[in-house]
Amino acid sequence: MNSSVSEKNVPKQGHPKGLYVLFATEMWERFNYYGMRAILILFMTKALFFSDAFSSNLYGSYTGLVYLTPLIGGYVADRYWGNKRSIIIGGLLMAIGEFILFFCGSLYDGSGTVSELTTLLFFSGLGFMITGNGFFKPNISSLVGQLYPKGDRRIDAAYTIFYMGINVGGALGPFICGLVGDTGNPADFKWAFLAGGIGMLISVVIQKIYQDKYVVTHDGTPLGEVPEAVQKVEASGKKSPWLNPVITIVGLLVLTAAFIGMLYVDANVFGYLGYLMLAAVLFIAFIIFTDKSLLPVEKKRVAVIFIVSFFVVFFWSAFEQAGASLNLFADRQTNRDLGFFTVPASWFQSLNSIFVILFAPVFAWLWLKMGRNEPAAPTKMALGLGLLALGYLWIANGVKDVALDTKVSMIWLVGMYALHTWGELCLSPIGLSLVNKLAPLKFASLLMAVWFLANAVANKLAGVLSALAPTEGKPSSFLGYEMTNLYDFFMLFLGMAGVASIILFLLSKQLQKMMNARNA
């Protein structure tokens, strides 16, 4: 490429313009996803008249599949489509999903009954969202690092800026979608889905218009193009079936139909998704640990990844109550009346992203300030679980000895979300970095799949646990632990996260030895 292109896209100071294109694209996609997620369980219980238990389980199945599909989307992009095509296709599928949910919400008539068409539209909308997320999410993140030459010191700062884009969208989505959709009238939920769909279209348009011009390498070479093997087929005069529009559309519809079916069967027939995910983790472990080419030291590091992934399940299954049981708690048992305005329950879903924006720089400064005393990654993750447990201790005290028909102050939810966000900042970015550092090159993608699978298992478990929340005075139990009120329910998560935190702290030194092991 000529020097003028290089100078235009790679300023000597600051960041390439492509970063801000990806920032905007991701921001609007997160606006769409988190806005929809904030009102999803409210829509199911208020407009579709699903029970709390059914809605919670379905929520867990949906979010679990959302974490699974990037494995498919990343594979297809790497081998056939490239990042750019996958991002656009994924974004359009998510927009279609939101518009289907808009039509689903438009059929609400207040009669207390739900037609078969409404149910079909609802599951179809979720299916398109799941498929679209799979193609969008893994591909846009991978483009950020490709904007910079190897060894460029700006990469860490670039991911920090990109992470801020995620959280700006995560804060705005629930706020806007809640403002127009969570009004107290179930007929208005449709406007939240419409707002999410429009946000997703804005994301696609930004990416489509500016990707060729600005999403390029430091020397001006376009990023995210179709893989070389497919380009060679096209250059030879043959047409690659993977780029055929008809085959693409039919394939995507088949894939979406499969996810719709998986979601429906898991929710209505047999809850198999959790077992399927666990089986996938065990299968991957078998493949890796039986590989004779791996050195003993490499197997020790892989073992660390599996161990921390196990503890991650306890964190996210409690953390992801935010969109399920905690969302219902905000709606039903939180005093949101300010006198002049009633705060929509869905607005509390913005708190996590707002707190990330406020406190991420603080945590980054803190780790640097500690210097040699900075805790090792497993210790940080144990601290994250501990902060999560403290969050549940805080809100459990807020509902202790409080009747189900009594509403408590918003301060209990706000304080809990602050503690949970601090826990997330100790665990989420640290864990992802740990997987990247410890994974042998041969199994880098497969071990990243383990991390996503752990998140998928956790999200599914979050829905299962949310379904156990005692409502209307009906008791429930989990592994022999009896719950008769919300205090008991929140103490379950305190116990899970607290015990996991203590065990991980005790294992930290041994894990550090395994991470730093040398070849004999």
Per-residue pLDDT reduced to its tens digit, 156-165: 677 778 888 8
Q: For residue 243, what pLDDT band results from cuts at 50, 70 and 90?
A: confident
pLDDT above 80 for 445: no
The confidence score (pLDDT) of residue 520 equals: 41
Please determine, for residue 13, whether its predicted confidence score (pLDDT) is greater than 70: no
Which residue, 127, 146, 149, is CA-closest to 65? 127
Confidence of residue 9 (pLDDT cuts 50, 70, 90): very low
The mean pLDDT of 11-26, rounded to a whole number, is 81
8 A C-beta contact, residue 450 and residue 309: yes
Q: Per residue in 90-105, pLDDT tens?
A: 999 999 999 999 999 9
Q: Where residue 277 falls among pLDDT bands split at 50, 70, 90?
A: confident
Is residue 149 pLDDT above 70, yes or no? yes
User: How far is Cα 60 from Cα 317, in angstroms, rounded to an integer?
Assistant: 9
pLDDT of residue 272: 87
Dihedral angle computed from the Cα positions of residues 274, 279, 282 and 287, in that order, rounded to the nearest 10 degrees: -140
Question: Residue 11: is its pLDDT beyond 60?
Answer: no
Tell me the Ramachandran region of residue 289: left when phi exceeds 0, alpha when psi lies from -120 to 50, beta otherwise: alpha
DSSP states along 326-380: HHHHHHHSB--B-SS-BPPGGGGGGHHHHHHHHHHHHHHHHHHHHGGGPPPHHHH
pLDDT digits (tens, 9 = 90+) for 394-410: 999 999 988 777 899 99
Q: pLDDT confidence of 166, banded at 50, 70, 90?
A: confident
Give the per-residue pLDDT at 158. Answer: 78
**pLDDT confidence of 6, banded at 50, 70, 90?**
very low
Q: Which has more pLDDT, 504 or 364?
A: 504
DSSP bridge pairs for 477: 482
- Mean pLDDT is lowest, of 182-196, 290-304, 383-397, 415-429, for 290-304
**Residues 254-274 pLDDT 10s:** 999 999 999 989 888 888 888
Is-contact 469 476, C-beta < 8 A?
Answer: yes
Q: Please state, in angstroms and as integers, the Cα–Cα distance from residue 107 to each residue in 110, 117, 242, following that order.
A: 9, 9, 37
pLDDT range class, residue 206, cuts 50, 70, 90: very high
What is the pLDDT, as a whole number, of residue 3?
Answer: 43
Q: Which residue has the higher pLDDT, 240 or 450?
A: 450
Q: pLDDT class for 125, splitting at 50, 70, 90? A: very high
Q: Which pLDDT does position 4 carry in this prediction?
A: 43
Q: What is the dihedral of CA 512, 518, 519, 520, to 10 degrees?
A: -100
Residues 20-60 pLDDT 10s: 899 899 999 999 999 999 999 999 999 999 998 899 999 99
Query: Average pLDDT, stretch 311-331?
Result: 93
pLDDT, position 419: 96
> CA–CA separation, 189 vs 182, rounded Å?
6
What is the per-residue pLDDT for 283? 86
Averaged confidence pLDDT in the chain: 87
Q: What is the predicted pLDDT for the residue at 473?
A: 67
Tell me which long-range contacts 467-470 makes (C-beta under 8 A, separation of at least 24).
Answer: 467/52, 467/53, 467/54, 467/56, 467/57, 468/53, 468/492, 469/52, 469/56, 469/325, 469/328, 469/329
